[in-house]
Structure 1
Amino acid sequence: MRRIAVVIAVLVFMLFLPSSSAQKNVVYVAKVSGTITEYTADQFARYIKTAEEHNAEALIIELNTPGGQGDAMMRIVSLIQNSTVPVIIYVYPRGAIAASAGTYIAMASHLIAMAPGTSIGACEPILGYAPNGSIIRAPAKIRNFYTAYMRSLAEESGRNVTAAEKFVMEDLSLTPVEALKAHVIEVVADNVPDLLKKANGMKTKIPVSGRGYVTLNFTNVEVKELNPSLSYEIVTFLANPAVSYILLTVGMLGLIFGFLTPGWHVPETLGAILLVLGVIGMGYFGYNYAGLLLIVLGMVFFVAEALTPTFGLFTVAGLVSFILGGLILFGKGGGGVYLVNEATFRTLRLAIIVTGILLALFFLFGMAAVVKAHRRKPETGREELVGEVGRVVEDLNPEGMIRVHGELWRAISKDGSPVRVGEAVKVVEVRGLTLVVEKIGGDR
């Protein structure tokens, strides 16, 4: 009986062992970096849906962003607030930031964690930057709206309302230690395992949709990584303001070069592709249509200079239009929040000015020469022989051989009259590989 009891106990233990393993909690980890766009919101939706479908204990988003579109940010906030799985925003890795729209997203999350060497804040809404680099601040109406929006997120999560308001009104930015001390975040962690250890047993700051406040259980978890789709990686690359600007400019140059020098078709084909990719990239973070029109106008002036040289008049007009268009291209306008941060704008401003000057020089000298060369009548090859004088080396009766420029050519007398060896002839026409000549009299 004792043996039977032992066997039964072992069987019961083995029966429940897989079940215990199956109850292991799952935590998903995903990375979000770069400018916040509508496509970023799509990725948030995919990550949250995956976590919900697998009943995950939590979804950790490793965030590193300078900000982005206001409407995309609000959509992400709504996705987080309606998630049935706790969403933890983790500002990571070291050196990462959660600025502007990134701060709103973090404040809407169920738990905020930061890695050492990161920062959070700097949410003042701006309309853009002037050509001299100074900030164009948003009017009070817009500042008050975003302040109220940030205050509402802080009140709902029980986080520091005063600091939250300063993020917007004073462009406040905090380090992890300062943010923890100010009760803006909940955890400072070196990495994901450290985060799971420190957040274990904590209660979410915001009620999880349909579940209320949730106590996080990270005692026995399996961490699974969610990788972005290939399309997201491509769009992230295209949505870089510098990349999209370069694609746009090079695409326009390809089209112009192809149309001004027809016959090859490769420049205009590649130009059309790059132009479309540039416009697609800019569409994800928004751009000022007036800026795009000015850039196009600048290109038109450059082309006009190449086709009808005006000793620099069209070049100057093109340069001014191109640079002004580039400087205001990335301003959202219409009362929206500017989408390119100050550091990025400074880099873009230098790139725009240098590109404009190089284009002006190219169209003023290089492109004009290319167009002239393309229009010039052929001056090399067989056609250059017309008008040249040669010597008969085989009687033309009416066909024979002559020597021109040290080369032997098959030739035929124009009027059919014979021409003897040693006599001089002038080339009057080229018919394939045969020269039509006429006698000019006398030996040469």
Structure 2
Amino acid sequence: MKRALLVMLFVSMLLVPFVSADKKVVYVGKIEGTITQYTADQFASYIKTAEENNAEALIIELNTPGGQGDAMMRIVSLIQNSTVPVIIYVYPRGAIAASAGTYIAMSSHLIAMAPATSIGACEPILGYASNGSIIRAPDKIRNFYTAYMRSLAEESGRNVTAAEKFVLEDLSLTPEEALEAHVIEVIANDVPDLLRKANGMRTKVPVAGKGYVTLNFTNVEVRELNPSLSYRIVTFLANPAVSYLLFVVGMLGLVFGFLTPGWHVPETLGAILLVLGVIGMGYFGYNEAGLVLVILGMIFFIAEALTPTFGLFTVAGLVSFVLGGLILFGKGGGGVYLVSASTFETLRVAIIVTGVLLALFFLFGMAAVVRAHRRKPETGREELIGEVGKVIEDLNPEGVIKVRGELWKAVSKDGSTIKVGERVRVLEVRGLTLIVEKVRGDS
């Protein structure tokens, strides 16, 4: 019996690695909200995770009203250069892939939609007029985006006519309409349903380095990629209402602070909110946003040393420094960080401790040094200025005086003669010579 158990244990140990190695992996990541450079960074992180783990596919659950054109084009490039098939899944129910989201979907290797979702409405606009009407982009821009959408549809073999109408006529389609128009490939209730229906399908776009790939989702393990801390922070800031409010309140804080000098609270809060508002507008990536906040924190620390505010600038600097460090090093998702996930857990504590130590240094150490430099010297020859001495040898105009019990060579300021015994006041020190004047009222 013992021998039989040992044999079974040995065989099982041999089989376990073989089974796990044969197991295929599909990663699932989420992208929600406005498309910004942070979204592109998150896409890059998801794709990198899938590529490093040789995944069977990467599914992106997409729900976006659109966003920045340059960030969208960067995402399209990332998808089409991915060595792993990227499936865009408009999910959950009620989600949309509008404007920039439609371009991203059309560039993917496979498009799926959940029921009660929509795709389309890609007409480029410049903004909204004061009366609420849309300011449409000029023909030059419209023609460019139409050609761009057409090229994506032609490459993927999807409906070119519908793709052009997405841009020219703001066409929007339901999942059923999109499937009938050959814009998408699958309608699925959830990820397991998507895997079941997409199994055996051929990608619509060639996978980088592999050509067209037949998807094999038999016996796959689904792993979720959770958005990083950085992405959750910037996604909140990137909400148009939030970023605009932060920007406006920040500007008002700066203006009010300049109108009420000496308080420092309005301009301090205004500077932080203004920077957060600009970051939320999505014109930075993770690295740039983190560096901007770290630099802002250092500016606050230095301001505390130069203009002591009883800790106000220190607190503002600490908040900016820590938040910037977390964004800078905590980017990525699914274990992909600027550093490893385990290292980031330790680094997060190090960032906070470093911020606190810097705050204390600038609050007490640097402030003391600056105050010492500003203090009037209490030793040396400069201390003699203003002192009154007695003439020991006639100044004509040069002679000798006695100040604080010491004999000094002295010259009268106006070249006049000052007799022995008269009192003089030191006006200036030039090397080892004192420039003096006669104390009026003395005989």
Q: TM-score, normalised by structure 2?
A: 0.61
1:64 paired with 2:30, answer: no
Please tell me whether residue 90 in structure 1 is matched to residue 66 in structure 2: no
2:76 corresponding residue in structure 1: 77
Amino-acid identity (%): 86
Name 1:191's counterpart in structure 2: 190
1:13 positional shift = 6.5
Q: Deviations over 1:379-420 (max 9, x none)?
A: xxxxxxxxxxxxxxxxxxxxxxxxxxxxxxxxxxxxxxxxxx
- Matched position secondary structure for 1:84: coil
Contact conserved, 2:195 with 2:217, CA < 8 A, in 1? yes
Q: Which residue in 2 is equivalent to 1:104?
A: 103
For 1:104-143, what aligned pairs fall within 5 Å after superposition? 104-143=103-142
Match in the other structure for 2:202: 203
2: CA distance, partners of 1:283 / 1:186: 32
What is residue 317 of structure 1 aligned with on the other side?
none
Q: How far apart, in 1, do the equivalents of 2:61 and 2:193 lie?
A: 14
Amino acid at match of 2:52: E
CA distance in 1: counterparts of 2:90 and 2:61, whole angstroms: 6
CA shift, 1:133, in A, is 1.3
CA shift, 1:7, in A, is 9.5
Q: Does the residue aligned with 1:18 lie in a helix, a strand or coil?
A: helix
Structure 1 residue 263 displacement after superposition: 3.5
Q: CA deviation at 1:109?
A: 0.3
CA distance in 2, matches of 1:152, 1:271: 45
Partner of residue 274, structure 2:
275
Amino acid at match of 1:20: V
1:62-105 CA-partner distances (Å, limit 9, x unpaired): 01111111111111111111100000000011111101111010
1:253 deviates by 2.4
Shift of 1:215: 1.1
Q: Which runs of 5+ in 2 are unaligned?
A: 286-443
Please say if residues 38 and 284 of structure 2, whose CA atoms lie closer than 8 Å, have aligned partners that are also in contact: no
Distance 2:136 2:251 in 1: 32
Q: Quote the offset at 1:23 in angstroms.
A: 1.4
Shift in Å at residue 270 of structure 1? 1.1
Counterpart CA distance in 1 for 2:151 and 2:251 is: 46
C-alpha separation in 2, matches of 1:262 and 1:269: 12
Residues 36 and 282, structure 2, Cα contact 8 Å, conserved in 1: no
Name the residue aligned to 2:168: 169
Instruction: Report the counterpart of residue 436 of structure 1 in structure 2.
Output: none
Task: For 1:77, give the aligned amino acid.
Answer: V
The CA deviation at 1:283 is 4.6
| Alpha-carbon spacing, 1:63–1:283, altered in 2? closer, same or farther (3 Å) | closer
Say whether residues 1:266 and 2:256 are aligned partners. Answer: no
Partner of 1:159: 158
Q: CA deviation at 1:255?
A: 2.4
Give the AA of the match of 2:236: F
Deviation at 1:265, TM superposition (A): 2.2
Count of residues paired in the alignment: 284
Task: Show the counterpart of 1:420.
Answer: none
Any idea what SS the aligned residue of 1:132 has?
coil
For residues 285 and 140 of structure 1, the distance between their equivalents in structure 2, rounded to whole angstroms, comes to 29
Specify the SS of the correspondent of 2:281.
helix
2:60 is aligned with 1:30? no
* CA RMSD, 1 decimal: 2.3
Give me the whole-angstrom Cα distance separating, in 2, the residues matched to 1:205 and 1:176.
18
- CA apart distance, 1:111: 0.4
Give the CA deviation at 1:182.
0.8
> How far did residue 230 of structure 1 move?
1.2
2:51 and 2:84 in contact (8 A); partners too: yes
| Partner AA of 2:105 in structure 1 | A
The DSSP-based 3-state class of the residue aligned with 1:127 is strand
The answer on whether the counterparts of 1:68 and 1:285 sit within 8 Å (CA) in structure 2 is no
Q: 2:238 matched to 1:239? A: yes
Match of 1:16 in 2: 15
Residue number in structure 2 paired with 1:226: 225
Q: What pairs up with 1:295-444 in 2 under 5 angstroms?
A: none
The alpha-carbon distance between structure 1 residues 196 and 137, as it changes in their structure 2 partners (threshold 3 A), is same
- Residues 36 and 285 of structure 1 are in contact (CA less than 8 Å); yes or no, is this contact kept in structure 2? no
Is the 8 Å Cα contact of residues 69 and 285 (structure 1) preserved in structure 2? Answer: no
Quick check: 48-57 or 258-267, which moved more?
A: 258-267
**Quick one: distance in 2 between partners of 1:282 and 1:80?**
24
User: Which AA in structure 2 matches 1:224?
Assistant: R
Structure 1 position 256, deviation (Å): 2.9
Q: Is the 8 A contact 2:186 2:198 kept in 1?
A: yes
Distance 1:196 1:162 in 2: 29
Counterpart CA distance in 2 for 1:283 and 1:9 is 58
Q: CA offsets per residue over residues 153-192 of structure 1, 9 Å max, x none? A: 1111111111111111111000001101111101111111
Structure 2 CA distance for aligned equivalents of residues 11 and 265 of structure 1: 72
